[in-house]
Each structure stands twice: as C-alpha cells, then as structure tokens.
Copies of this chain bind each other. A is one copy, B any other.
Amino acid sequence: MENIGFLGLGIMGSAMANNLIKAGFKVTVWNRSPEKCAELAALGAQVAATPAEVTSSCRISFAMLADPEAAQAVCFGPGGALEGIGAGRGYVDMSTVDAATAREIGQAVCDKGGRFLEAPVSGSKKPAQDGTLIILAAGDRGLFDEALPYFEKMGKKSLFLGEVGRGAQMKLIVNMTMGGMMAIFCEALALTAKAGLDTADLLEVIDAGAMANPMFKMKGAQIAAGAFDPAFPLKHMQKDLRLAVALGDALDQPLFSAAAANESFKKAKALGFSDQDFCGVFQAISS
C-alpha cells in the first residue's frame, strides 16, 4: 500500500486525515503548528517537517488550508509542496480558493511534471468528521480516478466537473443557493413572529412537507435558541454571495434573489454579525 500525504490539520483537515488513517491508509501529515500532528501520530500517521517532505515522498498529497493565502504559502513557500513535486506526483488541493488561485497552483504543479486536482468540499465540521463531505473535483481526470478510494473515505459523493476552476464555480453556486434559502427562511421566521404565530409551528410545518431539509431543521433550532456560534461564518457566506453575483455579472445572468440576499447579509455584517454563523442574518432581517 502506498503512502499518501495530507497537508493542513485544522478543524476540517484533521477530521479528514483521521478518516483516512482509520480506513487503514498510510498517511504522512504536516501542519504549520506541529502540535496538531501529535494526535494523528498517535493514531499511526507519520509526521513530516515540511510540505516538500510530504509531496516528495507520496504519490498523492492532499491539502486542506484555510484560505487562498494559506494555500499559496504552503505550495509556493520555502520548503513548500511545489519543491517536492516531481514527474507524475499528484497534488489535490481541497481548500476553498477562487478559480484564479486554483489555476495558478495547478499550472505550477503541471510545470514541474506533476498532476493537479482542485477538490473543494461542500459541508463543514460535522460531515468532515462523519466522512460525508461532498467533493467537487476538477482538473486531471486520471488523478481523480486514482484519488477516488481516498475521497470515498472523506466524503459520500465525489463529482468530477472538468477543467480546473469548475470546482470553485460549482461550490460558489451551491453556497449562493444556501444563502438565498437562508434569507427567505429568516424572512418567513420574522414574519411568523410579527404575525403573532409560533415560529415552532412554522418549523414543524416546513419539516413535514416537501421543503423539509436538514439545514432548516438545524438552523431553525439555532435561530430559535439565539445560538449563532459559527459553523460557517456569516462573512464567508456574504463573500460567496458577492462572488456568485459577480459570476452572474460576468455571464450576463440576472440574479435578483441572490442580489437581495447578498444585501441582507451585508446588512448583517454592518450590524456586527460577521463572525457569527451565517444563520445570524436572522437578526438583521427581523430587527
């Protein structure tokens, strides 16, 4: 069995690497702050000192970094992943980055004879732990096929979407849908309360019908409890809505609902709710 690499052991990454180890794969891990590696080492992971050490010793390396800046630093920095990339080696960046960053990293990997896949995920902490993420891959088709056995331990569904950049776009559209659903859901909750009806009744009715979905169920309970701890921070949702509306601009696709939702999330940011969960937009809508 071949060794695989994993770069980045934050909330998402450590859960994902954990699932790979539990499935019996031999995993070499690296993280910026080395203490995060200890827990996985205890489970059998090898620990590397630099990203380059990982990529030079593994046929396929996965990366899960916090944002585009981190993804670039880990790839291009001294001792970075790129230094270890050689002919045929695969680099699978699962971080959420914009299409331009994905293309830049992908090009650099290919220029060194490697193969590249962007593979952002839909789903946050809980699905990462449960191995039920949805993986939106794009880039090298052969690498996708090779990576599938690993994806299957991290997620419940993996799609191959074409050339690099497609994964980022699909994720944007998925999050735009989520933001729009949250906005109308919060308007419905606010209207229910203003009408003197019980929001618990609304949640029950919705949950019993064709609109029933896990997000409304979970977030509805959080909103009712006024619990806005971030699983997916509001400011990130607003950023995704902004980028989705901009994508519509580039493609001449009017998006009146997404644009209205974007403004409601901006209002929530202006009111100081940036770092709350994105369902915190309720407070801007109901005030």
Residues of A within 8 A of B (CB): 122-123, 127, 134, 136, 156-157, 159, 161-162, 166, 169-170, 173-174, 176-181, 183-185, 187-188, 190-192, 194-195, 197-198, 201-202, 204-206, 208-215, 218, 238, 242, 244-249, 251-264, 266-267, 269-270, 285-287
Residues of B within 8 A of A218 (CB): 210
Residues of B within 8 A of A166 (CB): 197
B254, A257: Cβ atoms closer than 8 Å: no
Given A169-B195, A197-B161, A204-B157, answer yes or no on A259-B263 (Cβ-Cβ < 8 Å): yes
Given A211-B213, A257-B261, A269-B252, answer yes or no on A177-B197 (Cβ-Cβ < 8 Å): no
Residues of B within 8 A of A191 (CB): 173, 176, 244, 247-248, 251, 253, 255
Given A209-B123, A257-B257, answer yes or no on A177-B185 (Cβ-Cβ < 8 Å): yes
Residues of B within 8 A of A254 (CB): 263-264, 266-267, 270, 285
Residue ID in chain B nearest A214 by CB atoms = B210
A255, B187: Cβ atoms closer than 8 Å: yes
